[in-house]
Amino acid sequence: MFSNLLLYRFIIFNGLMIAVTAVLGWSGYLLPLFQNDQSRLTFVITALFLMGWLWSWRKAVQVSFRLNDVKRRGARPACEAQRDKELAKTEWLSTVSEWLVALGLLGTVVGFSMALSGVDQGGLSTAAGVQSAVAQLMQGMRVALNTTLLGASFALWHEVNIRMLKTALAVYWGERVAVWQIDRPWMAERPVTLPSRYDPDHATPIPINRAPGKPPVAAKTAVELERMKP
């Protein structure tokens, strides 16, 4: 297997997204998103995305180096509690995508509110009042559409990064937990079905998760499991 595969995936995908963003910015599509936003929610969405993006890169580098160690030296033992604790530290990254979408929808509500609040019914009788109302409606619609577009785009970008990161974490911790369970067969959660000594035609479930005070039973069960291997 290739080393630093996770980093290569991150670099390729994020490099492509940065290139697309640069082209859009060079074409003049990005700057109006921020200039026409009186609610400043686009800046909040961008700041939240950058925070999650930088943190996902930090975790990607760490996980990539750990996977390289597993490939070179083998997996180090780890129990399920350690895995769950480590995975829990990255759960908040998944909620960043939800926050980005929520902020985009909030911008939609704020934009429509701005559009409606700027309409003066008393001034619609004059041409200047109609022009002012139309301008306010257009401004509110820009805020609504720009924040929704920016929030959804950043959420999709961030979600792809998180999916790649979670896949690599699952592979890494899966190997470590498997090594931990192999080294401790008596810690299995379910009983293993072994043939009965007196009746080979019937299988008898023999629980191997014995109490710590009975190591001979665990050792004996491990030996029997070893003999049953094809």
Domain residue limits at 213: 188-227
User: Are 140 and 112 within 8 A, CB to CB?
Assistant: yes
Answer yes or no: do 153 and 49 share one domain. yes
pLDDT of residue 78: 53
pLDDT in tens, 147-166: 899 999 999 999 999 888 88
pLDDT in tens, 88-99: 667 777 788 888
Answer yes or no: do 27 and 135 share one domain. yes
> Which residues of the chain form beta strands (DSSP E)?
192-195, 203-206
146-175 per-residue burial string, b: 16 or more CB within 10 A, e: under 16: bbbebbbbbbebbbebbebbbebbeebbeb
pLDDT in tens, 118-144: 666 666 667 777 777 777 788 888 888
Answer yes or no: do 79 and 164 share one domain. yes
pLDDT over 60 at 208, yes or no: no
Pick from 74-78, 86-90, 98-102: least confident: 74-78
Answer yes or no: do 62 and 132 share one domain. yes
Q: Is 214 helix (H, G, I), strand (E, B) or coil?
A: coil
Answer yes or no: do 166 and 204 share one domain. no
Encoding tokens for residue 163? 């999916």
Answer yes or no: do 121 and 198 share one domain. no
pLDDT over 90 at 19, yes or no: yes
pLDDT band at 193 (very low <50, low <70, confident <90, very high): very low
pLDDT of residue 18: 93
The rounded Cα 72 to chain-centroid distance in angstroms is: 27
Q: Is the pTM of this model over 0.85?
A: no
Answer yes or no: do 138 and 118 share one domain. yes
Answer yes or no: do 206 and 165 share one domain. no
Provide mean pLDDT across the span 31-50: 87
Which range has highest mean pLDDT (36-40, 75-79, 127-131)? Answer: 36-40
Answer yes or no: do 87 and 50 share one domain. yes
Answer yes or no: do 204 and 104 share one domain. no
Answer yes or no: do 63 and 176 share one domain. yes
Answer yes or no: do 52 and 166 share one domain. yes
Task: Name which residue leads in pLDDT, 178 or 171.
Answer: 171
Please report where in the chains the tokens 């257009």 appear, as a residue: 138
Domain count, the chain: 2
